[in-house]
Structure 1
Amino acid sequence: MQKVAIFQESRFLPLIRPALRQHGLLIAVTGLYALIAFSLTRIHAPVMESGMGWVLVWNFLSYVPGMIYFMLLWRFLHMRFVVRPCDQMAWFRTDIRATVTDPQRIVTGVIGFVLVVTIMISFGLLKKLIPILQPFSWDEAFAAIDNSVHFGLDPWRVLHGVIGYSWIITLVTGAYNYWMFLLYFVLLLTCFSTTDPWTRIRYLIAFVFCWGVGGNLVATLFSSAGPVYYERLGFGDYYAPLMQALHEHATSQPITVLEPQDALWEYYAGPVGLNGISAFPSMHVASTVLMTLYAWQFSRLAGRIMVGFSVVILLGSVLLAWHYAVDGYAGIVIAFLSWWGAGTLMRLFPRWTPPRTLAM
């Protein structure tokens, strides 16, 4: 037993220090993000619980079984139609065993996972501060900007007039609901990936920028709640026809959007004050575009599929009353800036990042 323990220990210990060094820049960025989040929380809401952050973490963990299932399915299909070994079960067992016992994958995966959890908690803390630091005050301005940049037309009226069929709304709602699973799935894959470590770290740093700068800083500076809560916040009934259209669609097709919208408002308006409301910029769009940039580094096909999914999320954010169209446009810009900023920062501090293996 002692020899086995020494062997196991020798497999992992030599990998920890170089892995920490390669994650050095990501650790620094994540640490700064966490420091800001906990400091501002202590100053502005010292008795506030970190509920939002832990909700994100527990949601993440709840998706893990489904993620494992899809990974096993993917490896099985890869074996069945690409590798086609003579002894399929032997190959499958060897492939899974090699994946789950790879010391490099385990060490980098655990480090990445801890950092991702820290990012989620930090985001949740700062998101909950938005109405405290800056009460929702930009909705009227964004409604006017939306109309202005679209030549006097409201994007939601155009979209519902052209593609606002009940079955399309249902499909878009399904895609919108699938977004969170995809986001977590990509995160988990990224944490435990050993393919192109440089791009892996770039995505995770860009993820911090996207959610920290876009989802917290920009969202606080331009605090808004979105069309769905426009009337509830006392800005008027301008979007009442949009909400009426969604309720009418719900009478003929399943639309799983109205209940979450009401639940978020109850959390926000309730005694606990768990804030999950923020419209500008659209983090659904921003994070999906960021995933698209990441996917494009490995596969043009995956990149093209993600471009299509990004378009669906952008249209869905307006169709389902979650966002003004300008929220989505801002999300696209933030995703590109986050990706560019992460790459630039990594080139400035190459010692604390993995060596580059692909031209970016």
Structure 2
Amino acid sequence: MSINKMKRASIKDIARIAGVSVATVSYVLNRKEGSRISEATKIKILEVAKEINYAPNKIARSLKMSNSKLIGLIVPDISNDFFSNIARWIENEAMKLGYTILIGSSDENPDKFRQLTELFSEQQVDGMIVVPVVGSDDAIKKLLNNEYPVVSVDYYLENVNLPAVTLNNFEISEIIVDYLIDHNFEELIYVGYNTKLPHLLDRQRGFERKVRERGIIAKKVLVDMKDVTPKVHTELKKQLKITSKKTALYFLNNKIGIAGLNYLVRNKIKVPEDVSVIAFDETDAYTLFPTEVTYIRQPLEEMAVNALKLLDDQIKNFSEKGTRIICSGELIKMKSVK
């Protein structure tokens, strides 16, 4: 344990020596009684601070008060309507509780996701709301091991005991299949991702179970999450045959939905005369197509309120880890289903 005597010791030095995050050190040194940090961790941090003669800047401390009132939000792509809309709701709810939001896009890249968690930790945010990506388990486990308040929204992780707010994805897929079969469709085509993300697999599994139960002809088209539009076009060209058979397409999310609708327009396939369509998520882009699209509306305000409540409870109290709140999607019936 060595510190340059000519250099003022910092909380980064304490964090490095104690093997905890900067945010955890900040909690111990700056927060009032009732902090959620364990007693053993507090003692270790205070002992390290004493050994390296840490002397906090009193002016900075008085300005900072008990916490930063900052929350980090990590989404896959802020340009996607779904994530920009839920970010806005989260920001609105955060402001009601006195927090300011810092936002970053992971681009579905686990390395960038990890870098964002580290950046937000250095900024001493009080907690994080994250949309995990495949391969982000270790970065999230590190936050949890450092007793860092973190909540997952929309996505969840199967192997990490992480508080989460998500949708009833399995059940809503079953509702979609029942709705289409009850409208006398003879063939259903599910267009989704080749992915390991649990919430998206729930949509696929709900579709698969219900078509087996109802005994209807069904196809699955699965594409990679990169270069979505050309891949959806290629697969629909192979799988979608316009015949006298009543066919319906179920698009997994708004990105795939827009790509699929674009293919139909380019190839002069009429909706709902030639094929019917249901898509996940609400987006203004659907209004650009000739027919109003039937879609699944996710309760973004409810999801944001619950995510902020879970995170605020963690920041202020020793709240239970692993709490998962499941919200219900709503089928909005428009004109794209004949």
Q: Give TM-score scaled by structure 2 length.
A: 0.27
Question: Greater relative contact order: 1 or 2 (C-alpha under 8 angstroms, separation 6 or more)?
Answer: 1
TM-score (norm 1): 0.26
**Higher Cα Rg: structure 1 or 2?**
2
